Amino acid sequence: MDGAPAFGAALRSRAMPATRRAPEPEDILCMVGVSDARMSPDGRGVLFARKVVNERNAYETSLWIADASGARAPRALTRGPRHSCGRWSPDGSMVAYVRADRDRAPAIEVVPARGGRARTVATMPHGTIRDLAWSPCGTRLAFAFRPLAEEWTPEAANKRTARGGSTPPRVIDDAWYRLDGDGYFDGARFALHVADVAGGRASAECVFDRDTLGSFSFDWAPDGSALVVATNMHPRASWEPWHATLVVVTPGRGGRHRVAELKGLPQGVKRLPSWSPDGMRIAYAGRRGRDDGYSTQDLELWCYDLRTRRAHSLTARSGICLMAATLSDTSDAAFEPQVRWFPDSGALFFRAGIRGSGIIASVPAGGGAVVQHTEPGAECSLGTFSADGSLLAVVRSTPTQVPEVHVADVEGRTFPLRRVTGLNDALLSELRLVEPEERILRASDGHPVHCWVLRPRGARRRRPAILEVHGGPHAQYGCTYFHEFQLLCAQGYEVWYSNPRGSKGYGAAHCGAIRGAWGTKDWTDVQAVLKAMRASSGVDRSRVGIMGGSYGGYMTNWAIAHDHGLRAAITDRCVSNLVSHAGNSDHPEVPDRYWRGAPFDRPEALWRASPIAHFKGVRTPTLVIHSEGDLRCNVEQGEQVFTALCTLGVPARFVRYPRESSHGMSRAGPPDLRIHRLREIVAWWARWMK
């Protein structure tokens, strides 16, 4: 296999077109996903994961290596179809990865970095392997593993089919038993395992299994003697996330592993520990207080000094949140913090979501000012450094550029970036894409509202306009490629998108303005955007529509209940009834934390903020999109909207996707269903807005 990209279901060569064409729903079949970029220790290559759509309507993920100079085309290291978590060995001679082929037990494999036959280091029972890390000496690999209960294995399913047996029931003892995109895991939990790379048994030993939720993260000590684990071992961890702590796990012989909790840590959530190369400090993402990781409060970068046993926040005064994800339909959002030590232990680098951009930034390990190293106007994902710290791997995208691997020269304040992959160049050279226009509006109370506008090329008459509202709500829209936006713009619509109050990227006050109060200041900001759309010289004010997914679906429902001048709407994987949603989501609502009251006791605040409670006067034609496999916003939320619309005699359509699709269907669902969804969206707007 050479370095030329093979585009899944569109396996054909692409010549440079004489004229560009409008984007189409089917273009997602040809897009190559790029993620998890990691610089080789010697700085010569960048390891990354490459995802394509194959001819069987499935995603294939393999590991590739790009030339760090950009002089040569990327080369395939593995063939997939489900290889992930690629990690360089400390000396750069080997690459370890997770093999998770369908219907086979998962395994950890290593392959020579120059190419060759892979060797299995650890074969696990049926289940899921998550995360992977070499010990600094290169002799061991640590990883998280969660087993699959015997009755749910492929072998058990085949036996049931052969004898005509029923699907077994699930017997649940804990509220944490499912997660959207992950599925049902019942009482099983991830545990930390360590495997010997040179061992001949292809097995691993469990060294830590005390995490109540199985959602821990870990890192090796620089001398390889121990691992630090961010964990919550409290029996009610789902309800009391502030019990999170850091423990040091020292693997021992014969299963005698020592676990010691670090002293002097503040109360609050803790994630992604990272041991400094000099062994003196441990960095982690966290905050004080009782909120979990996903919160209106900023997730900060902390540093714990192993000598003084004290921790301090390095970013508390910066207004930066390490969990300010930029949403897209062509790549996974960066909800997990991204943090890297500089090789000399003097500074910490991290991704910061700021005003719609994903910025690579740093802060001195001892405290000081945050420095931004990449320019705004793009979404950058933080990779790893070369051993000498001179080069940094980055995945970068813009509103007109699908994510590609870049290499940053670590020099000066602003790092020069060079693109070293062009896996999507052939496709993008065909498409007629539009650069967004950036605007700052003022809400009725004077609050600034940051928004962007895509205007159709060559439009001379007043045109219809669509407002896209992002999900979360504690995330952001911004400077990354969004195929749906470009598709709708090419259909002749002005596409507006914004970051109203509740969004990340603008400080904790902006984000926290709607805590326990959806449909208030967020709606004020959305109204400001709708007002600007109707006042725009190029927009036909009688043809303004709104759409959104998840919380964006919530706001769409709220809008049609309160603004009867909207021409049409699309509510996707929505929330409509906060009372019922509080008990059937994969993240159950904790009483009196985010919302006042509880769904089973004092539900008044939840009901007042529920769009369905205000539906009596709705008359906007609405398309309802939902997935039966959505574990975040249950399909019953969409059912309530559709039933209410039908009862009121409002034109409506319900597109209900099957169980193999989840809450993230628009960006990670089955490719044919993603295309179907985009076609339904285009058809709905054409029916009511053209």
Whether 578 maps to a domain, the answer reads: yes
Contact 495, 689 (CB under 8 A): no
Whether 458 maps to a domain, the answer reads: yes
Interval 393-439: pLDDT, tens:
999 999 999 999 999 999 999 999 999 999 999 999 999 999 999 99
Number of domains in the chain: 1
What pLDDT, on the 0 to 100 scale, is given for residue 10?
Answer: 36
Q: Which of the 8 DSSP states describes residue 342?
A: -
d(C-alpha 332, C-alpha 340), whole Å:
20
Residue 637 belongs to domain with CATH number? 3.40.50.1820
Instruction: Look up the domain containing 590 and give its range.
Output: 437-689
What pLDDT, on the 0 to 100 scale, is given for residue 2?
Answer: 35
Give CB contacts under 8 A, 24+ apart, made by 485-488.
485/399, 485/454, 486/23, 486/400, 486/431, 486/433, 486/434, 486/454, 487/23, 487/24, 487/25, 487/678, 487/682, 488/454, 488/681, 488/682, 488/685
What pLDDT, on the 0 to 100 scale, is given for residue 528?
Answer: 99
Residue 601, judged by CB atoms within 10 A of its CB (0-12, 13-18, 19+), counts as exposed
- Token pair recorded at residue 589: 């609502």
- Supply the pTM of this predicted model: 0.96
Contact 515, 522 (CB under 8 A): no
d(C-alpha 393, C-alpha 408), whole Å:
6
- Helix (H) / strand (E) element for 160: namely helix 154-163
What pLDDT, on the 0 to 100 scale, is given for residue 3?
Answer: 35
What is the distance, to the nearest Å, from the Cα of residue 79 to the centroid of all Cα atoms in its chain? 25
What pLDDT, on the 0 to 100 scale, is given for residue 331?
Answer: 86
Interior angle at CA 496, CA 492 and CA 501, nearest 5: 165
Distances (CA, A) of 557 to 189, 193, 329, 467: 37, 46, 21, 13
473 prior amide bond cis, ω within 30: yes
Whether 569 maps to a domain, the answer reads: yes
Q: Which of the 8 DSSP states describes residue 156?
A: H
Whether 169 maps to a domain, the answer reads: no
Interval 471-494: pLDDT, tens:
999 999 999 999 999 999 999 999
Whether 259 maps to a domain, the answer reads: no
Look at residue 333 and tell me whether its pLDDT is greater than 80. no
| 492-504 mean pLDDT | 99
As a whole-number percent, the residues of the chain with pLDDT over 70 amount to 97
- Helix (H) / strand (E) element for 379: namely strand 379-385
Whether 125 maps to a domain, the answer reads: no
Distances (CA, A) of 66 to 36, 55, 394: 12, 25, 12
Interval 457-469: pLDDT, tens:
987 799 999 999 9
CB-based contacts of 685, cutoff 8 Å, min separation 6: 464, 466, 488, 491, 493, 545, 568, 570
CB-based contacts of 315, cutoff 8 Å, min separation 6: 298, 300, 301, 322, 363, 370
Residue 437 has a CB neighbour count (10 Å cut-off) of: 12
Mean pLDDT of the chain: 95
Whether 467 maps to a domain, the answer reads: yes
- Token pair recorded at residue 441: 């509006």
- Token pair recorded at residue 324: 């300010």
Interval 607-626: pLDDT, tens:
999 999 999 999 999 999 99
Whether 150 maps to a domain, the answer reads: no
d(C-alpha 226, C-alpha 224), whole Å:
6
211-249 b/e (C-beta count within 10 Å ≥ 16 → b): bbbbbbbbbbbbebebbbbbbbbbeebbeebbbbbbbbb
Interval 246-265: pLDDT, tens:
999 999 988 889 999 999 99
Short-list 183, 32, 186, 330, CA closest to 660: 183
What pLDDT, on the 0 to 100 scale, is given for residue 4?
Answer: 32
